[in-house]
Structure 1
Amino acid sequence: MPSPAGAPESSVSRAVNAALRSLEDSKAEDIVSIDIHGKSPLADYMIVASGRSHRHVAAVAEHLIRALKNAGIGAARVEGLAGADWVLIDSGDIIVHVFRPEVREFYNIEKMWQTPDLEDETVH
């Protein structure tokens, strides 16, 4: 019998794997998974992906929402689906951002969560 401490990790792992499979099946582009456990109380993982157009972003997001529900992850909170420039899907353990490429480039949220290089910290 697994320990209670092990249950959240397997739940997080199941959610991340379901999300990544769904994104790949939907032909999402530039998929990046970032471990933010301990960096933010919002979630344990953040996944960022791109769709080619408004329609593709919406389709990728809708497919992901169904995949998470079918995997037993539960009902995710969703923002931005109507405009489909940037759709945020929050399942609790993971947060998935699906962007149109121009919007993703503008906000560049991956950079906020990456560890800065030593070169970036030096004064020029």
Structure 2
Amino acid sequence: MSTADNTSRPALGLPPRPTAAATTDAPLARMLSGRRQEAPAKKEEPKGSPTENMTVSIPTALRNRAKAAYKATSYAEGDNTWAHFVAKAIEAETRRREAEHNQGEMYPSWGEKLPGGRRLKDS
């Protein structure tokens, strides 16, 4: 090993830097049962699809729990951003309600503002 090849590395008995990354897994890594599978292909939203900001108030404990779930699982679930995670959650609940209350059919789009505040109790 010549010192000219590794001038940026101090002479502390460190091995030389690898010149290129390995292109395949080590043979034993393929046999390990806990080896991470390749991530499934992500469903990409169309780049030109319009978005809109939304402000809601939710309990702090729920928000913190959701953020922790996002942080812990975003890589495995393919969430690109926090907004992507929230949109997927809203879509899942919307589909559940459509299936349960509207024979799985989508409700007509509602572009108007929803009434603010709490609902009035039925008398």
Structure with bigger gyration radius = 2
TM class by shorter-chain length?
A: under 0.3
Higher relative contact order (CA 8 A, sep 6+): 1
Determine which structure has the larger strand proportion and give its number: 1
In the superposition, the TM-score normalised over structure 2's length comes to 0.25
